[in-house]
């Protein structure tokens, strides 16, 4: 009997040690902001916009990773803001990408039917495709300015196809990012 107890106890204890870390591996972090200023926000006139990029020529993306093409402007517009009489107010657009390529900060392709391989979508600070936005985590991007005594404003960002390798393939591209405003 003594022999069985000495074998069973360490085995049971090992099982407890193994399962404890497994329970503590996943977390959820909630982030937000409380502000005296709030506005209604839309992209291209709607809260849940679809930005249609043009069909791009694959040749414009092949040869080296990091090539971009098909830049398409999209407008973040705010309205119904509280007018501030003291000074202009800088407001940041905060993006949170889904399926982000960690090496580049580019939105990964989520297309499920005939997807392009090694092609992502890059958001840029300027509508001409300059000023790449790295979406590794929630990213606050400057640009919107609510002028003194005004209640609305807008700013044009850009979105473009981005080669994640030197040999991407043709196909469908879909990418998703959440957005909100930061008044801090």
The answer on pLDDT for 168 being more than 50 is yes
The answer on pLDDT for 113 being more than 60 is yes
Name residues whose C-beta falls within 8 Å of residue 160's C-beta, 6 or more positions apart in sequence: 53, 68, 69, 70, 71, 72, 121, 122, 124, 129
Q: What is the pLDDT of residues 77-112, one digit of tens each?
A: 999 999 888 999 999 999 999 999 999 999 999 999
129: its two tokens = 């495709």
pLDDT of residue 24: 63
Q: What is the DSSP letter of 16?
A: H
Q: What is the pLDDT of residues 24-35, one digit of tens each?
A: 688 777 788 888
Neighbours of 121 (CB within 10 A): 25
Cα(120)–Cα(8) distance, rounded to whole angstroms?
A: 54
Residue 133 pLDDT level (bands cut at 50, 70, 90): very high
Picking from 77, 49, 39, 48, the residue whose alpha carbon sits closest to that of residue 183 is 39
Which top CATH class is 37-182?
mainly beta
Cα(54)–Cα(170) distance, rounded to whole angstroms?
A: 14
Ramachandran bin of 137, using left for φ above 0, alpha for ψ from -120 to 50, beta for the remaining angles:
left
Instruction: List the beta strands (DSSP E) in the chain.
Output: 40-43, 68-79, 89-97, 100-101, 106-107, 119-124, 139-146, 153-163, 177-182
Cα(78)–Cα(182) distance, rounded to whole angstroms?
A: 12
Q: Is 60 helix (H, G, I), strand (E, B) or coil?
A: helix
Residue 109 near residue 179 (C-beta atoms within 8 A): no
pTM above 0.85, yes or no: no
In the chain, where the domains are located: 37-182
């Amino acid at each position: 009997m003594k022999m069985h107890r000495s074998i069973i106890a360490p085995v049971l204890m090992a099982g407890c040690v193994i399962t404890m870390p497994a329970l503590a591996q996943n977390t959820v972090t909630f982030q937000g902001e409380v502000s005296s200023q709030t506005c209604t926000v839309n992209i291209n006139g709607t809260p849940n916009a679809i930005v249609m990029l043009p069909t791009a020529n694959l040749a414009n993306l092949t040869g080296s990773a990091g090539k971009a093409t098909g830049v398409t402007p999209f407008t973040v517009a705010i309205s119904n803001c509280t007018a501030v009489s003291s000074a202009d107010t800088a407001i940041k657009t905060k993006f949170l990408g889904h399926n982000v390529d960690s090496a580049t900060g580019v939105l990964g392709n989520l297309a499920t039917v005939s997807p392009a391989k090694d092609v992502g979508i890059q958001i840029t600070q300027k509508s001409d495709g300059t000023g790449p936005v790295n979406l590794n985590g929630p990213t606050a991007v400057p640009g919107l300015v609510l002028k003194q005594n005004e209640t609305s404003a807008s700013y044009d960002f850009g979105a473009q196809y981005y080669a994640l390798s030197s040999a991407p393939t043709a196909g469908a591209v879909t990418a998703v990012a959440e957005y909100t405003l930061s008044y801090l």
